[in-house]
Structure 1
Amino acid sequence: MKEPGDGVILSDELFGKFVSLVYQRTGISYENNKKYYVQKRIEKQLERLQVDSFNEYYLLLKFSESTSEFDRFINDLTINETYFFRDFPQLRNFAEDVLRAVVKEKEKKGDYKIKIWSAACSTGEEPYTLAIILQEMLDEPDKWDLHIVASDINSDVLHRAKIGQYDYRSVRDVPSVYLEKYFTLKNEKYSILHSLRRSINFRKINLMDSEAVSDITGCDFIFCRNVLIYFDDRSREKVLGDFYNCLNPGGFLFLGHSESVGRISSAYKSQRIGDSIVYSTHK
């Protein structure tokens, strides 16, 4: 029996329609060099639904009253590998330089609240890493009101993040002392301690949904690393503008090492703190 999509090439015209639909709804941009990647994800959905044509599936995504199929397609398109303490030099800069300076200023004002948004949290390694850093870097963490918003557009990875259970590949860069302190090991799975999860609120958010993004206010830090590379300049400008409104005056935005604010937005102040360039809102 012939499998759905077997031996059929996705036309350039229909590929353009698929990626245009994804772009309109998510801001994520797929160029022609991603055609094979996108086609394989579409074929997987055709096989699951027993749909015979790419066009039939496109019409289903575009005109269905429910967004469930589109959401499932996006889940398959946006699975990204991550791990604890990814890009350690930047995290060290955050912990030892930026966070320390912010905490010092807050203590002067008697302000003991810290809010962080992990804006593309995937399976949760980043927000849990940030929670560990806060526990380790604050002299009296119990004195602080710590709140981490962890969001992603992918509901599958969010479900895994909430469970907080990982294999060795994900925790391979976690310092051994932290591994013993914040994880329990059972059946070769490392589970995050419940006490660490309490400060984290997982939410499904499409970064192009300004209304949903505007609900997140009062952030001291936003981490959105290795996400803007999937957007075009128009989408990046929109997201960066919304992030600016989410941050407190003097709040900080952390991007991936290959990403930059400079060419896209003039709203942020670029400065060197420690050994890294960081972006902040104006006080």
Structure 2
Amino acid sequence: MTGEAPVLTPVELNALSEFVYKRTGMLFEEKKRYYIDRRIAERMDATGSRDFADYQVRLRSDPGEAQSLINSFTVNETYFYREEHQLRCLSRSILPEVVRSHRPGDLVRIWSLPCSTGEEPYSIALWLLENWAMVDVYNIEIVGSDIDTQAIAAALRGRYTNRSIAKLPQEVLDAYFEPEVRGRREIIQDLKESVKFTATNLNDRASVLTQGRFDVIFCRNLLIYFDEESRRTAAAHLYEALNPGGYLCLGHTESMSRISDAFEMRRFDDAIVYRRS
């Protein structure tokens, strides 16, 4: 399976791609064969499958293996304070507008999707604690969600390498992380408890609806893996998950204006974001 010959025939590759697409909205085709072959070979080895036909039988009958396959296809490239300009925009512009209609003590909900191994939602919590003077005035709820259950498990553990935390100021590391152990630093328990983690599939409306509505959603660098149809589906689900007047933050290479006209584009000093009217 690990030699130079393709692991999957063209017909098998299409079948696998369709399986992943229907469950995630992510499109993997022939041009990504190396990426696909490597991951399917690992799953076939792990399950002791004789060939792809044998693996397909397991895939269709075992929800746990289906989840393991999806986990293997997700991309978890992230680090703390990534795209920091959006965090500045959150504290300087977005939240001040959101809380105009709130009273002290009211709930303000922020969603990080996909949250990967937790760096983004924890970054939001850290940033607000350090940079938003009103953080204790309101009941801030931060939720991190991802389709990858292994990533969620890692987020709950909250242990990070020096590469993940390289952009954090030293005073933030000292205040919110335990001392380094075997090359990793763990987030303190109080900060862990400030973020809730859930498994969610943006491509599945029912899965999204279980999370409730949010005032701010960070959905960065996910839609680039979708085709046009999946992007439109995702946009509709994100719109529905926002409170009226809520804000959506995408990755710097993404634009909702090319996907859906349901959102109003807002230009702030620090970032361009999208608002549910």
Normalised-by-shorter TM-score class: over 0.9
Alpha-carbon distance, 1:111 to partner: 5.9
Gap regions ≥5 residues in structure 2: none
* 1:80 match: 76
Alpha-carbon distance, 1:7 to partner: 5.1
* 1:67 match: 63
Alpha-carbon distance, 1:112 to partner: 3.0
2:110 match: secondary structure? strand
Note if 1:131 corresponds to 2:129.
Answer: no
Alpha-carbon distance, 1:161 to partner: 0.2
Count the aligned residue pairs: 275
For 1:148-187, list aligned pairs within 5 A: 148-187=142-181
- Is the 8 Å Cα contact of residues 28 and 230 (structure 1) preserved in structure 2? yes
- Is the 8 Å Cα contact of residues 5 and 54 (structure 1) preserved in structure 2? no
1:262 match: secondary structure? helix
Q: CA separation in 2, counterparts of 1:218 and 1:77?
A: 28
For 1:1-283, list aligned pairs within 5 A: 4=1, 6=3, 8-9=5-6, 10-61=8-59, 63-64=60-61, 66-103=62-99, 105-106=100-101, 109-110=103-104, 112-187=106-181, 188-282=183-277
Gap regions ≥5 residues in structure 1: none
- Is the 8 Å Cα contact of residues 205 and 213 (structure 1) preserved in structure 2? yes
1:169-225 Cα shifts (integer Å, max 9, x gaps): 100001222111211113132111211122211111111221120122231100110
Q: 1:275 to 1:7 in 2, by over 3 A?
A: closer
- Is the 8 Å Cα contact of residues 5 and 53 (structure 1) preserved in structure 2? no
Counterpart residue type for residue 168 of structure 2: V
Percent identity, aligned pairs only, is 37
- Is the 8 Å Cα contact of residues 223 and 231 (structure 2) preserved in structure 1? yes
Q: CA separation in 2, counterparts of 1:258 and 1:119?
A: 16
- Is the 8 Å Cα contact of residues 105 and 137 (structure 2) preserved in structure 1? no
Counterpart residue type for residue 207 of structure 2: A
- Is the 8 Å Cα contact of residues 266 and 272 (structure 2) preserved in structure 1? yes
